[in-house]
Structure 1
Amino acid sequence: MDWTAQVDGYCERLAPGLWAEPLNAVTNLAFLIAAIWVWRRSGGLAPVRVLAAVLFAIGVGSGLFHTFATRWAGVADVLPILIYILAYIYFANRYFWGLSRLWAGVGTAVFFPYAAATVPLFAMVPGLGSSAGYAPVPLLIFAYAVLLRQSLPEVARGLAIGAAVLCVSILFRSLDGPLCSAFPLGTHIFWHLLNAVMLGWMAEVLRRHLAGRGARG
């Protein structure tokens, strides 16, 4: 595989070059801003700081992909997103469900067969396209919200809000190609902006829970 091969997958990109996707590139600053906000609000809580660091990496990786637009940059784009998902599942299992480290890790590993089973189903949805790879995530978050609604209603509400924002974000990602002729700048920028808000909010949901748990001793 040629890791330096160019990737042209977005409406805004019309030619090779670092600044062929200026809006897609610049909107990655939203991830960096969200990461700094999460870090400053973390109160020294290690799990929240881990999420902040990975969120910063998401902004850097996505920025590389929307400037260099190569296969290696594509890996730099998606890998931090996967790490954030796995880290959040682990922290949710550990702190929302109170599982041991071992079982929290086992529950995190279950994400892989879950994604393998659900992505092909979402790929059958007309118009979803490559966004099918992300669609299992809001479904999983909604499932956690439903299951936690009795024991941790505030957490459940926060998770549901995050899942709803992510659904809208995925919608904009899916519309980038179909609306290209009518909206040449593309809708991928809204995927960036909404995801930055959503990921920052999800970290805040965890922070509030951990801070409240600590306050109760």
Structure 2
Amino acid sequence: MTDYVDGYCERVAPGLWGEPLNSLSNLAFLVAAVLVWRLATGNRTGRLLAVLIGLVFAASTVFHLLATRWAATADSVSILVFVLVYVVLFARVFYNWRLAWLAAPAFLALTVVTALLGGGLYLSALIGLGIFAALLAFRRDVYWTHFAVAGAVFALSLSLRALDRDVCDYVPAGTHFLWHLLNGVVLYLVSRTMVKRLRP
């Protein structure tokens, strides 16, 4: 678990400051967490989402500083926890589904399928945003556009993440830091949508 991980253009050797852009760009998550926390005054669900975004910030920062396998696992787990909590909240808040917790294993099943197809957690998250937008658009809920916009931003973010290793010869810093910046926007957008939906 302490094995060195070199998975990004910017990382060329072990060391705490081996990925300065990838490390600093995690501040986008911290900014998103603070904004959601302030927006969610008196809203425990919003505050929970803010804390989970804060955990993503911490885990991703540690990973890009240490570049070890255990830190990579912590990074992925923090993202997965946010997504699982969010899909359950979506089912409960937007559809008042009493068995909202079933949304979590349903998403995990989708993730397994996309992983077998080579997509993994992130492709299933993109599909999930598309499903949220489609479900709400079908019943003419005005919030469908919020998820459509978040999905579009995430699609761009995912593309930049995939390009990172392919552009090393032309862009030594890579594009992974843009993945962080855009994902901070995505987490803010979906959390803001949840907070607004819960307001009287």
Name the TM-score, length of structure 1 as normaliser: 0.89
Tell me by how many angstroms 1:195 deviates. 0.1
Equivalent residue of 1:14, what SS? Answer: coil
Structure 2 residue aligned with 1:192: 180
Structure 2 residue aligned with 1:182: 170
Identity %: 38
- Kindly tell me: are residues 55 and 157 of structure 1, through their superposed partners in 2, closer, same or farther at Cα, counting changes over 3 Å? same
Q: Give the distance between the partners of 1:67 and 1:198, measured in 2 at CA.
A: 23
Q: In structure 1, what residue type is equivalent to 2:69?
A: R
Structure 1 residue aligned with 2:87: 89
Structure 1 residue aligned with 2:191: 203
| 2:128 is the counterpart of 1:140 | yes
Superposed, 1:22-101 pairs within 5 Å as 22-100=20-98
Q: Give the distance between the partners of 1:140 and 1:4, measured in 2 at CA.
A: 33
Superposed, 1:138-177 pairs within 5 Å as 138-151=126-139, 153-177=141-165
Tell me by how many angstroms 1:155 deviates. 1.5
Structure 1: which 5+ runs fail to align? Answer: 124-130
Q: In structure 2, what residue type is equivalent to 1:97?
A: Y
Tell me by how many angstroms 1:180 deviates. 0.8
Q: Give the distance between the partners of 1:152 and 1:69, measured in 2 at CA.
A: 45
Tell me by how many angstroms 1:120 deviates. 2.1
| 2:94 is the counterpart of 1:106 | no
Q: Give the distance between the partners of 2:92 and 2:120, measured in 1 at CA.
A: 28
Q: Give the distance between the partners of 2:176 and 2:168, measured in 1 at CA.
A: 10
Q: Give the distance between the partners of 1:110 and 1:20, measured in 2 at CA.
A: 38
Q: Give the distance between the partners of 1:112 and 1:78, measured in 2 at CA.
A: 14
Given that 2:107 and 2:124 are in contact with CA atoms closer than 8 Å, whether structure 1 keeps it comes out as: no
Q: Give the distance between the partners of 2:21 and 2:75, measured in 1 at CA.
A: 16
Between 69-78 and 131-140, the greater mean CA deviation after superposition: 131-140
- Provide, for residues 37-75 of structure 1, a one-character-per-residue CA deviation record: whole Å limited to 9, x for no partner: 100000221111111000011011000000000011112
- Kindly tell me: are residues 108 and 152 of structure 1, through their superposed partners in 2, closer, same or farther at Cα, counting changes over 3 Å? farther
Structure 2: which 5+ runs fail to align? Answer: none
Tell me by how many angstroms 1:148 deviates. 1.2
- Provide, for residues 141-183 of structure 1, a one-character-per-residue CA deviation record: whole Å limited to 9, x for no partner: 1112111114352221101111111110000000000011000
Equivalent residue of 1:108, what SS? Answer: helix
Q: Indicate which of 97, 106, 120 corresponds to 2:116.
A: 120
- Provide, for residues 106-162 of structure 1, a one-character-per-residue CA deviation record: whole Å limited to 9, x for no partner: 1222111111112222x2xxxxxxx64311111111112111114352221101111
- Taking only aligned residues, the RMSD between alpha carbons, in angstroms, comes to 1.1
Asked which structure has the greater RCO (Cα within 8 Å, sep 6+), the reply is 2
Q: Give the distance between the partners of 2:134 and 2:90, measured in 1 at CA.
A: 14
Q: In structure 2, what residue type is equivalent to 1:31?
A: F
Equivalent residue of 1:43, what SS? Answer: coil
